[in-house]
Amino acid sequence: MTTMTMSYWPADVSEPVLETTVGGILRAAAAAQPDSPAMVAGVPDPTARRRWTYAQLLAEAEQAARALTARFAPGERVAVWAPGLPEWVILEYAAGLAGLVLVTVNPAFRPAELAYVLNQSGAVGIFLVPEFRSPMAQFLDEVRPDVPALREVVYFTDWADFLASAPDQAVLPEVTPDDPRPCTGYSWTNSPRPRPVRSRSSSCAQASPGTSRGDRRDPVLSSGR
């Protein structure tokens, strides 16, 4: 019988690691192909599919980032609890541009799981939908007394008002590839007590929607289902 003493998989060097940030990925795409399609809302009705070019996606992400700076300081953790809405993608870019850690929360979580993730991550804000297969707003109301650090709650149904709150003169922080703060900084293991996995900004950028490889950039398809 063979006994394994070491597990090893050599590094894949066929594609370079991009020493950039989530915001840097989007800015480069917008500079290279501003009018190319970047994101299409994945809804069944073709006439209801909202579309963004790279220039439009960058403009909205930067506006959302400025709105974030009015509420949060660089390095703070902000949770997102929703299905894959287009605004979810925009918030991911905005968090990276604002130097925040985005804490992803499974939209299927029940109150106890939600409270655990918010407390364990130290999230000071949360973006969510009022309902998705469960009464999420009600669940948040139930647990909020037990999450003392949480101070900001923004519903995606109020996204336009959130964007409008952005200060015109807000200055976005400088974010570097080695900065551990930006982008989806926490993901969670699938266990009764999920554990956070924190990533470098450049690591997050490799998997960012719209990441360019060579001369090809594919539109992001975002589903709200």
- Show me where the domains of the chain are located: 56-168
Higher pLDDT, 217 or 65: 65
Confidence of residue 214 (pLDDT cuts 50, 70, 90): very low
Which tokens in the block code for residue 57?
A: 């996606």
Region 193-222 average pLDDT: 52
pLDDT tens-digit profile of 45-59? 999 999 999 999 999
Region 131-152 average pLDDT: 97
pLDDT tens-digit profile of 58-92? 999 999 999 999 999 999 999 999 999 999 999 99
CATH fold for domain 56-168: Rossmann fold (3.40.50)
How many of the other CB atoms lie within 10 Å of CB of 36?
Answer: 15
Confidence of residue 185 (pLDDT cuts 50, 70, 90): very low
- What is the C-alpha separation between 75 and 173, in angstroms, rounded? 10
Region 129-158 average pLDDT: 97
Quick one: which of 44, 8, 134, 148 has its CA closest to 83? 134
Quick one: which of 27, 43, 33, 36 has its CA closest to 93? 27
Against a cut of 0.85, is the pTM above it?
no
